Amino acid sequence: MLFRKEAIQAQRNRLLGQVVVYQPVSIYIACATIFVIFLLLIIYISQSHYSRKETVKGYLIPKKGVVKVYSNRTGVIENLFVGEGDQVNQGEAIAKIQNSQSLSTGVELSIALSKELLIQIQVLEQELTVIEQMYNKDLSRIERQLEQQRKSLSAIQKAKATSTKKLSLKEKQFKNNQKLYEKGFLSFNQLSIIQEKYFDVLESHDRLEKELASIHVDISISESEWLSLPEKKKLKQIAIKRQISELNAQRIELNNQYEFIKKAPESGIVTAIQPTIGTRISIDTPLLSIIPTNSPLEIELLLPTKSAGFVQLGDKVNIRFDAFPYQKFGFITGKVSSIDKALILPTDKVLPIKVDEAMYRVRVKLEKQYISAYGKKFPLKVGMIADADIILEKRSLLEWLLDPIYAVKGKLG
């Protein structure tokens, strides 16, 4: 036989039709589940966002800055007129500072010098009184003198009037007798006697005129002296008052060197009072700080140069204060309001935060000025240290996953 018996039998029993491979239902369920999970994952990574951020350190300061008040003098704090948290107005006294120096006798030097200056001032004031008295006396004397001179003037004027009449009469008499002498009716001796009497009257008249001119000059001098007397008194008073003013200025300066009142340069809230009564201070010792009125707190962030590339105005910032643990009290949000263009070097400025490298200062405007805790609002305080997350950009997870591809494409392009 060409074929075995078993082969022939198998050929007879062959199945007719298409071969169908049967798959269990669980395979279909698994595939559907994987597809749904993959679809959900795609939706999640395309809809979920991740923020890239820079974490930096910062501290709270008022928007207008903190005004530090220095004594600008050496001395001892004698009195403090303000306390922590007090509201002060510009020009209001905040402290009294004393600078004491004693002589070998134990007497305070400034007090001794001030007394000497006061004595000199009193002497000059007495001199002013004497000048006033002398002025009144001189005024009375000149007025009496003028009155007497005017009386003398009146008498001389009357005498001159009489003398003028008498002279006119004698002149006529002399001329008439001279004519008689020329006609031979009068002797020379008689004419000489008449002429001598005429000359006597003329001489008396001339003397009266000289006296009249002299009394006019005297009256003019007296009147001029009377008019200049107030001006002379005023000049003397001005000179003495100038000396008194200079001595008073020296006394004020001396008293100011001994003790002086420090006044507030700005209106605001007093804080950070450093010295106490009796403390000796130097020129560069800060007395206290003043937070200006209407100056909300802002946070000043110190941004390293390596982190400054993508920070922009308006970037959102999440702030966590060391004094209020964010795990319990949350954080405060804010927005970047200004970015310094100049760097701060470690040697440039004393800051509340230690600086080991070059930094940019970034100002952030706070959303609120308090932290809510235990049902209360606790106000933020100047100088509080905080960690801040500056949100640089916000992208979906899908964009982050595709970022390397974009980077390679950018390089190739």
- Domain assignment present for residue 290? The answer is yes
- Domain assignment present for residue 102? The answer is no
Dist. CA 91–CA 70, nearest whole Å: 14
Cβ atoms of residues 44 and 397 within 8 Å:
yes
State the CATH number of the domain containing residue 384. Answer: 2.40.30.170
Dist. CA 370–CA 329, nearest whole Å: 11
> Which residues share a beta bridge with 76?
98, 280
Closest CA to 99 of 108, 112, 86, 90: 108
- Domain assignment present for residue 104? The answer is no
Q: What is the pLDDT of residue 39?
A: 76
Same domain assignment for residues 249 and 271:
no
Half-sphere exposure of 407 (CA within 13 A, CB side): 6
- Domain assignment present for residue 321? The answer is yes
Q: What is the pLDDT of residue 334?
A: 92
What does the block give as tokens for 409? 């494409």
Range of the domain at 28: 5-47
Residue 35 Cα to chain centre, angstroms: 74
Dist. CA 357–CA 227, nearest whole Å: 82
Q: What is the pLDDT of residue 242?
A: 92
Same domain assignment for residues 381 and 249:
no
Per DSSP, helices labelled H in 15-108 are 25-47
Same domain assignment for residues 156 and 215:
yes
Q: Into how many domains does the chain fold? A: 4
Q: What is the pLDDT of residue 63?
A: 84
What does the block give as tokens for 380? 């933020």
Burial class (CB in 10 A: 0-12, 13-18, 19+), 387: middle
Dist. CA 239–CA 325, nearest whole Å: 73
- Domain assignment present for residue 99? The answer is no
Residues of the chain with pLDDT under 70: 1-23, 42, 44-52, 100-110, 191, 255-258, 349-350, 393-413
Give φ, ψ of 48 to 5 degrees: -75, 145
Sequence-separated (6 or more) residues with CB below 8 Å from residue 87: 267, 268, 269, 270, 293
Closest CA to 316 of 65, 66, 49, 63: 49
Q: What is the pLDDT of residue 335?
A: 92
Helix, strand, or coil (residue 302): strand
Same domain assignment for residues 175 and 241:
yes
Same domain assignment for residues 78 and 211:
no
Per DSSP, helices labelled H in 48-108 are none
Burial class (CB in 10 A: 0-12, 13-18, 19+), 291: buried
Dist. CA 1–CA 134, nearest whole Å: 179
